[in-house]
Structure 1
Amino acid sequence: METAIRFLIDSSISGYANAVQQDPARLARVAVGVSLSRAQRMALYVANLSRRADYGADPRAASALHDCFSVLGDAVDQIRGSVKQMRRLTGSGEEVRFQLSNVQTWMSAALTNEDTCVDGFEDVADGAVKSDVCDRALKVKEVTSNALALVNGFVAKVMVP
């Protein structure tokens, strides 16, 4: 597990190492924050592509981009909720476990929405837009997955009696 956590830190949040140090709560908070930033940038990127695609020749690509933007917006909202919940962890025992359960649920839902963005391009002909959006979405999914893994690791530490 230690090796997996080190890889997750190295691959997506290494720039925050000094702020995080050995605190699993801070590590999870920073990872979720990085996930939010990446998802927001991806949603903005897809929104810009979507506006241009409306005037293009491929209605399937335009539709996939619109759907992707919609589900990425949902993912951003879910990750934003996770960030807020992580910042406000209060109480002890059951209360904290409930709050962390919300974060796990929302981060998992965000990951599903990011998957849905990629899945929406299945019927789109191969091309630069499809390749670019799917590649970028896969990187965002990776960061979200890493954040969820770190949240799960923190939850496992909190659950220890």
Structure 2
Amino acid sequence: MRSLSVAAAIFAVVFSTQLINSILAAPSPTAAEPQRRNPSADFIRTSCKSTMYPMRCYRTLSPYASEIGSDPKKLAMKALNVTLKVTKSASKLMKRMSRIPGVPAALADCVEEVEDAVDELGKSIGEMGGAPAQGPEFCRMIGDVQTWVSAAETDDDTCTDGFEEVPTVSPGVKRNVKKIVEKHVGRIARFTSNALALVNLYASSSSRSRHVKC
């Protein structure tokens, strides 16, 4: 039992390291930049106010300010790409955890949920990155993206549900694994929530500029 707990703790440390590295892989602004007015950073800060987690949103996306500019589509795409990267890291670690002896079978269901989220986020990025859509076609495109990202968010939220019904045959293992999963799946759920909010913001701003009502 002790060895299993240690193994779970090791995976938690590895997972945290991978997740942080994936998020912080982008170059950070230079020390002089915060002293100057940066319209792109202001745009990101203002846009992030539409999300559930605005500080996380700004910290994650502000390093890409020069790339994003003041383009709501580029902002939404970057948010989706960062979310996909984080979700893929979570998926890989959870697959490794699922092979630890004594880990609740509910983790396998959670792995499937996160894999589905990876697939749905990938579809969203592919759809938004395609040829510019016009009129009703834009509404169809953005509707598909919103549906997929919403589904990914649901997958994240329901990932740990199965742990509540796991028999307490190995309570220590269950407790450690559940704690790790809840912590990190909760984190990717927050990234997904922010990405969806920015997709919705892009949808509303584009609908106005295109004079279409979706």
**Larger Rg, first or second structure (1 or 2):** 2
Report whether the alignment pairs 1:122 with 2:167: no
Tell me which residue corresponds to 2:31: none
Aligned to 1:39: 87
Match of 2:49 in 1: 4
Which position in structure 1 is the counterpart of 2:113?
71
Q: Which runs of 5+ in 1 are unaligned?
A: none
Q: From the superposition, tell whether residues 134 and 49 of structure 1 become closer, same or farther in structure 2 (CA, over 3 Å).
A: same
Superimposed CA distance per residue, residues 79-107 of structure 1 (whole angstroms, 9 cap, x where no aligned partner): 00001011104231111121011000000
What are the residue-to-residue correspondences of 1:1-161 with 2, within 5 Å? Answer: 2=46, 4-5=49-50, 7=55, 9-52=57-100, 55-56=101-102, 61-124=103-166, 127-160=175-208, 161=211
Q: How far apart, in 1, do the equivalents of 2:191 and 2:135 lie? A: 28
The sequence identity of aligned pairs, in percent, is 34
In 1: Cα distance, 2:165 partner to 2:65 partner: 41
Which stretches in structure 2 are left out of the alignment for 5+ residues?
1-44
Aligned-pair CA distance for 1:11? 3.9
CA distance in 1, matches of 2:144, 2:164: 31
Question: Aligned-pair RMSD on alpha carbons?
Answer: 1.9
Distance 1:73 1:38 in 2: 12
Deviations 1:30-59 (A, max 9, x none): 00111111111111111000011xx22xxx
- Greater per-residue helix proportion: 1
Q: Deviations over 1:13-46 (max 9, x none)?
A: 2332221121100000000111111111111111
Q: Deviations over 1:107-160 (max 9, x none)?
A: 000000111112222234562211111010000000000000000000001111
Opposite residue 137 of structure 1, the aligned amino acid is V
SS at match of 1:51: coil
Rate the CA distance shift 1:89–1:143 in 2: closer, same or farther, 3 A.
farther
Alpha-carbon spacing, 1:119–1:12, altered in 2? closer, same or farther (3 Å): farther
